[in-house]
Structure 1
Amino acid sequence: MTAGATVPGRDATGAGRTPAPAVVAGPRRMPGLGNLPAFAHDPLAFFERLRDRGDVVEWRLGPQRALFVSRPEHIGELLTGVETTFRHPELGWAFKLVLGDGVVTSEGPAWRRKRALVQPAVRPRQVRSYARTMAECAAALAQAWHPGQEIDVRREMLALTQRIAVRTLFGADTAGREDVIGAAMDVAQQAIGNEFRGLTLFLPPWVPTPGRRKLRRAVEVIDAEVGRVTGERRRAGGERDDLLSRLLAARDEEGLPLSDREVRDEAVTLYIGGHETTGTTLTWAWYLLSRSPGVRARLGEELAEVLGGRTPDFDDLRRLPYTEQVVKETLRLFPPVWLMTGIAQEGSTVGGLPVPEGTVVWSSQWSAHRDPRWFPEPEAFRPERWDAGAEPVVPDHAWFPFGGGARACLGARFAMVEAVLVLATLAQRFHVDAGPGEVPPRTGLTLQPGAPLRATLRPAGARGVTVAP
């Protein structure tokens, strides 16, 4: 590949046929470290700089040769090519220790088998049965809140989504143990994020660090708790209306079930996907609503008209389009998962351009979602850009908070339903008023607020409506 100074096809609208891209040289590199210092210092700004240099940019993460792609059609090739032309990357020792050989980390035939076993547990029909738990947990929090109370928004939202995740996953079998599981999961998620941003990503697994020792202890707790519940459920027999029961009942093409270890790995994967990402999305939604009184007013009008003060249920979702648009716009501006990667296999291409085998190809939800070519006024919080028939039309793969292709997030529907129902339940009753200052994002396993987001609860006051218990 050769580096070029210009990129064919890079226009303001993205319209028309795009010629094969040229590869643009990335920022200046440090010997041995490549662009790692700049990436580690501020990966979001670094990705935006790469995006603005060209559509396909060459850079290095330490010794690894890498490409960064930013056009939707190239992102689509990467997302849909995993398991065919691109190989799923290793995501670090901490990630593997926590998630084991679950559907996110496995590859090839093992991945296809596990996906087929797990997918039925999160199909729309099954998500419908979890919706009541989501709304009930949110309604209980609404009853606990009171006007004038000051809250830590992220702490409140993570506690809520943790409660929902535990109950939809394990049912009542973890009563009184939610905090134990939650605390261990929090340690695990923080360790994964810390490793990814730091030099420990390149350390061999046998190198001990304080963070790794702490993580091992947390994983021991997770294994013990999941093992205890799984064992009790197997002994009791029968099927219940939760994710664990569906994992235990699943059978592959040969009639074989998931082993206890496989159940553990998939349960932890579903927990992390259903807790951290949705809690973070809701945190950012309150932050954006606090700064957007016009959006908040329109949201309140929809909730008052559709719900009239009652707790929403699954059937209300289709009648709450603006509430869903608020969630989608939040996912655009602050996508919990902020990067995707794939490793080129023999014969890989991007936009018709050959990519040498072993090259790591990166894309970023953060930079793509804020690209002015696809999203006019990209920094503005405008849920109406998702109205049916809105112009300009967002290209495929310009918005991909849940990934895409065969390895798209299995829990995407679960997450959207949960976020809409929780937001609808709480926003009927309360305005969450954060301070006027900017809260910068911090990269880790997910894109989190970089400072505590404290807010005061105010009565929503939408037509005098109050939420029913």
Structure 2
Amino acid sequence: MALTPKRPTRPRGYPLIGQLPGMTNAPALFLQLAARHPGEVIEVGLGVSSIFLTTHPDHAQRVLMDNYRNYTKQAPMWRPLRRFAGNGLLTAEGDSWLRNRRLIQPLFGSKQLTGLAEQMIEVAEQEAERLSEHVDGAPIDMDLEMITTTQRIILATMFGTSLPQQQLHALAQAVLDSFKAINIRMLLYFVPDVLLPGERTLRQSLATIDQSIAGLIAERRRRPAERDDLLSLLLAVRDEDGEAMSDRQLRDELVTMFVAGNETTAITMTWLFHLLDQNPEVDARVRAELDAVLGDDPLTPENIRALDYCRRAVQEAHRMYPPSWLIPRRAEQADEVGGYAIPAGATVVVSQYVLHHDASTWESPEVFDPDRFLPERVEQRSRYSYIPFGSGPRQCIGNNFAVLEALIILAAMHRRMRARLVPGHVVVPQAALTLRPKHGLKMTLHPV
């Protein structure tokens, strides 16, 4: 006789509004709830609505892999992002998503990544030289500096270096302004857009994005690039019927790539520099590997790929502070997750932050330990206990690009300078669509 599924746990909250106040500090709230109810599915009340928080790797496997077709991106938290990214790979569903995936997947193969890595290295070296001018100078905000660096890198890999810089800067600023407004709207998805701040700026920024990318596509069609960039590769792809991408699809994919290559890597590097400063033994091992593998040689795709310990440090930064810290899905039909009943239409959340800090999986989860990612230790864990780029068929196809970009920035900058946290500066995570330091990251730069 089959057991009746359990009702998800509903923690006590404020009258009428439930856990809504805690959503202003959502990672801490989710972690607290998961710690009090390990292995359970938790219904988090948000006033007029609720979300179902999963807390176990097996839950993630059910939602993201085993029954992924039932868990779509039609959850209301995704609606604001569609205003921004349209029907790109991040937000598309069904046949549209499958076509997009098949078209774009080859762009991130090893051959293409090697060519893109050469462009990344060129820009990263320039950015490292720029930041070297701040050595022994006034404090900088590493968060803002990493946004600038990754923005330049992703623009170069997307559009090359032959297009007007003023035009590219206007596009980048419009994307960042839009993303800030979308961040707010995703967490407060139950509030009408017009009642939230930044609606006028959002509309203006979206118009700028549309006009800018249309102009860039037209210019590239008139004048091909000297070497392949992502726009050139996207223009060249054809589906099984020989059809190219429409201008609208090109726009949506380029916006998606810009955010994935800029925002998430910038956050990764910000947290990584903080973690290395706070953990001198790890920092010493990172520097020792940079010296042993690179020495004074120029950076190349080959020697970057040989940085094993540095790669593990990036992976551990992704564990502790995953840039994308939650994955919302909509249950199209009623389901059972970990023995708990999920009603049709429910918003189900898999939180990387919760999974990556689960003490039953990770010993001393608040300790920065890159050796967690030695192969023999990885084999002992569920593959769904560590999912910084999601998992299952919808896993981010740019994961290798993102790790490669982070390694290149680390190698270019860390062998030139040391970054130290300004004494007294408070570092706490703030969650919206992504997870970044609430007050930025004030640091000073010093000679190696």
TM norm structure 2: 0.92
2:245 aligned counterpart, secondary structure? coil
- How do 1:294-443 and structure 2 match up within 5 A? 294-346=281-333, 348-351=335-338, 353-390=340-377, 393-437=380-424, 438-443=426-431
1:159 aligned counterpart, secondary structure? helix
- How do 1:141-220 and structure 2 match up within 5 A? 141-144=127-130, 145-146=132-133, 147-149=135-137, 150-171=139-160, 172-198=162-188, 201-204=189-192, 207=194, 210-220=197-207
Report the Cα offset of residue 76 of structure 1.
1.5
- How do 1:63-74 and structure 2 match up within 5 A? 63-74=48-59
* Aligned-partner residue type, residue 404 of structure 2: V
Q: For the aligned residues, what is the CA RMSD? A: 2.2
1:84 aligned counterpart, secondary structure? helix
CA distance in 2, matches of 1:240, 1:174: 16
- Name the CA shift for 1:82/1:341 in 2 (closer, same or farther; >3 Å): farther
Corresponding residue to 1:101 among 71, 74, 87: 87
CA distance in 1, matches of 2:4, 2:168: 52
1:281 aligns with 2:279: no
- Name the CA shift for 1:58/1:373 in 2 (closer, same or farther; >3 Å): same
* Aligned-partner residue type, residue 197 of structure 1: L
- How do 1:45-60 and structure 2 match up within 5 A? 45-52=28-35, 53-55=37-39, 56-60=41-45
- Name the CA shift for 1:391/1:252 in 2 (closer, same or farther; >3 Å): closer
Report the Cα offset of residue 65 of structure 1.
4.2
1:35 aligns with 2:19: yes
**1:70, 1:368 within 8 Å by CA — same for their partners in 2?**
yes
Corresponding residue to 1:445 among 429, 433, 448: 433
Where is the helix percentage greater, Structure 1 or Structure 2? 2
**2:77, 2:328 within 8 Å by CA — same for their partners in 1?**
no
Between 1:379-388 and 1:138-147, the stretch displaced more is 138-147
1:130 aligns with 2:119: no
Between 1:433-442 and 1:29-38, the stretch displaced more is 29-38
**2:422, 2:442 within 8 Å by CA — same for their partners in 1?**
yes
Report the Cα offset of residue 399 of structure 1.
0.9
* Aligned-partner residue type, residue 179 of structure 1: H
* Aligned-partner residue type, residue 177 of structure 2: V
1:104 aligned counterpart, secondary structure? coil
CA distance in 2, matches of 1:354, 1:208: 34
- Name the CA shift for 1:90/1:250 in 2 (closer, same or farther; >3 Å): farther
CA distance in 2, matches of 1:20, 1:126: 51
Q: Deviations over 1:295-332 (max 9, x none)?
A: 11111100001101223221123421110011001111
Between 1:426-435 and 1:120-129, the stretch displaced more is 120-129
2:316 aligned counterpart, secondary structure? helix
CA distance in 2, matches of 1:67, 1:247: 37
The unaligned stretches of length 5 or more in structure 2 are: none
Corresponding residue to 1:454 among 430, 442, 448: 442
Q: Deviations over 1:139-185 (max 9, x none)?
A: 11222213313321111111010001111001122433332122111
CA distance in 1, matches of 2:385, 2:217: 40
- Name the CA shift for 1:227/1:457 in 2 (closer, same or farther; >3 Å): same
Between 1:256-265 and 1:429-438, the stretch displaced more is 429-438
CA distance in 2, matches of 1:298, 1:48: 31
* Aligned-partner residue type, residue 443 of structure 2: A
**1:191, 1:215 within 8 Å by CA — same for their partners in 2?**
yes
Between 1:354-363 and 1:156-165, the stretch displaced more is 354-363
- Name the CA shift for 1:333/1:238 in 2 (closer, same or farther; >3 Å): closer
2:396 aligned counterpart, secondary structure? coil
- Name the CA shift for 1:90/1:105 in 2 (closer, same or farther; >3 Å): farther
Residues matched between the structures, number: 438
Report the Cα offset of residue 26 of structure 1.
2.4
CA distance in 1, matches of 2:61, 2:235: 34
Between 1:217-226 and 1:146-155, the stretch displaced more is 146-155
- Residue identity over aligned pairs, in percent, reads 35
